[in-house]
Amino acid sequence: MSFGRLAVLVAAGGLLSGAFLAFHYAPTFEAARDATAHVETLPLGRLLRSLHHWSGAFALVLAGLHGALVFARGGHRTEGRRLWVLGCLLFLVLTGFAYTGYLLPGDERALAGIRVMEGVAASTPLAGDAAAGAVRGGDAISSATLTRLYAVHAVVLPAALVLLVALFVGSWRRLCTAPPRPLLIPGAATLAALLLAALLFPPALGPKADLLGEAPPDARPEWFFLWVNELLHRVPGSTFLVAAVLPSLLVALAIGLPFCSRGRRGPEIAVALAVVLGIGGLTAASLARAPERPPEPPAPADTPAPDVPRIMERFQCARCHRIDGKESADDMGPPINRIAAPDRPAVKDLFTREYFRRKVGDPRKYWEGTSMNYTPIRLKPTPAELLALEAWFYGE
Ligand code: HEC
């Protein structure tokens, strides 16, 4: 079979549908999710988005099958190292497409995925902060993070794909003596299957991500990283080893294969089978494990709304602020009011709720130099406390 050429065909389709999506996309958290939703309202937009999604998965599977067949017939020994290494790099590029593509819609699931990526980067020994900062493009996950992912997905990876395919085809031509088998029938069958998948299973689009909110509890990565997720779940506290070292080792093993493969084939086949079975088994285990359910929201009767004066006491808001005109010990912050006062309007007339939530939710994250954090307890109310404060200041 010509799985390799079919993978290239599907990937080319992915570039075309991607170009269509790029016309409508904006890489910011304010706009990305709505832009994605907007595409679905355009003529054929929903289908093109679905085709784009599925062409990533198809190309990955076809390329994987191709690699497996080449390995099975010992092609990594007989067909030249160069071709094998280029093939591995192509597979990596396809994985990169699928991975970054899943983060771009800017919905809740994407944000959860970005947070996992940030966590993995932050787990790097010694250079964790720098790595996480490089992934985020700043001190916190923001639209700058999406912009980076978009640049990788829509500029770096397509360029790498085109370059690698050109090199690959060049090497392959030199090696290939027989004319390639015609692609018409398998090509048409693949495209038909792709179309069917795209029509039957369009990708979901979740609610808009809330940069300050909690991650949805059942967030899972895409299918090709489920095994990593499962391993992380089973071996807690090993993020860097499991999510960074192990995949890199597997990649190095695959790329290095033709350089150390000689003699009997038994051992290398055993290792390959063990890797495939391990990944397959972990993926199955992850699928079988029921998603962690969010804790049941307790009945409204026995959850008293967080008590605002108590929250303020805990964070000593009144030590720095005159609140509704009351005395303040240090009086170092601006007066903040629930009710309009002669010297200062009410909070609700001064700030948007978004600003309030960001400022009071985690002042340090919002502004490194804030003096709102010199008290011994770090000012970081829980989401419920923040909601209560907001409701109080906005007079609800
Ligand atoms: C350690 C002193 C301190 C504490 C405690 C404190 N604040 Fe502040 N707050 C400030 C200062 C100073 C500012 C001015 C800007 C800055 O430094 O961030 C500020 C700014 C604000 C602002 C924005 C006002 C503006 O004009 O920009 C709000 C709203 C606010 N605080 C609410 C609160 C609430 C609610 C609490 C308690 C949960 C609280 N603060 C606790 C010192 C404090």
**For atom 42 of ligand 1, which residue has the closest CA?**
372
CA–CA separation, 136 vs 148, rounded Å? 8
Is residue 1 pLDDT above 70, yes or no? Answer: no
Is residue 130 pLDDT above 90, yes or no? Answer: yes
Ligand 1 binding pocket includes 332 (Cβ within 6 Å): yes
Counting ligand 1 atoms within 8 A of each CB, the residue from 314, 320, 385 with the most, and so the one to mutate, is: 320
Determine the average pLDDT of the residues in 98-105: 94
Instruction: Give the whole-number percent of the chain exceeding pLDDT 90.
Output: 51
Output the CA 139–ligand 1 centroid distance in Å. 21
**For atom 39 of ligand 1, which residue has the closest CA?**
317
Which ligand 1 atom sits nearest the alpha carbon of residue 316? 5
pLDDT at 175: 80
Which ligand 1 atom sits nearest the alpha carbon of residue 356? 29
pLDDT averaged over the chain? 88
CA–CA separation, 31 vs 59, rounded Å? 29
**For atom 5 of ligand 1, which residue has the closest CA?**
317
Q: Which residues contact 371 (CB under 8 A, 6 or more apart)?
A: 332, 333
pLDDT in tens, 165-207: 999 999 888 887 777 788 899 999 999 999 999 999 999 898 8
Residue 48 in tokens? 């093109």
Q: Exposure of 214 by Cβ count < 10 A (0-12 exposed, 13-18 middle, 19+ buried)?
A: exposed
Counting ligand 1 atoms within 8 A of each CB, the residue from 307, 319, 321, 338 with the most, and so the one to mutate, is: 321
Output the CA 382–ligand 1 centroid distance in Å. 16
Is residue 341 pLDDT above 90, yes or no? Answer: no
Q: Which residues contact 205 (CB under 8 A, 6 or more apart)?
A: 33, 36, 37, 40, 105, 107
Determine the average pLDDT of the residues in 152-165: 97
Which ligand 1 atom sits nearest the alpha carbon of residue 375? 1
Output the CA 304–ligand 1 centroid distance in Å. 26
Determine the average pLDDT of the residues in 135-158: 94
Determine the average pLDDT of the residues in 14-21: 96
Is residue 371 pLDDT above 80, yes or no? Answer: no
Ligand 1 binding pocket includes 201 (Cβ within 6 Å): no
pLDDT range class, residue 373, cuts 50, 70, 90: low
Ligand 1 binding pocket includes 336 (Cβ within 6 Å): yes
**Chain centroid to CA 166: how far?**
29
pLDDT in tens, 291-340: 665 555 555 555 556 788 888 888 888 888 888 888 888 888 888 888 88
CA–CA separation, 158 vs 328, rounded Å? 59
Q: Which residues contact 86 (CB under 8 A, 6 or more apart)?
A: 164, 167, 168, 171
Ligand 1 binding pocket includes 371 (Cβ within 6 Å): yes
pLDDT range class, residue 216, cuts 50, 70, 90: low
Determine the average pLDDT of the residues in 128-146: 92
Tokens 């389709």 belong to: 13
Ligand 1 binding pocket includes 382 (Cβ within 6 Å): no
pLDDT at 301: 53
pLDDT at 331: 82
The Cα-based distances of 342 to 124, 330, 365 in angstroms read 53, 21, 32
**For atom 34 of ligand 1, which residue has the closest CA?**
317
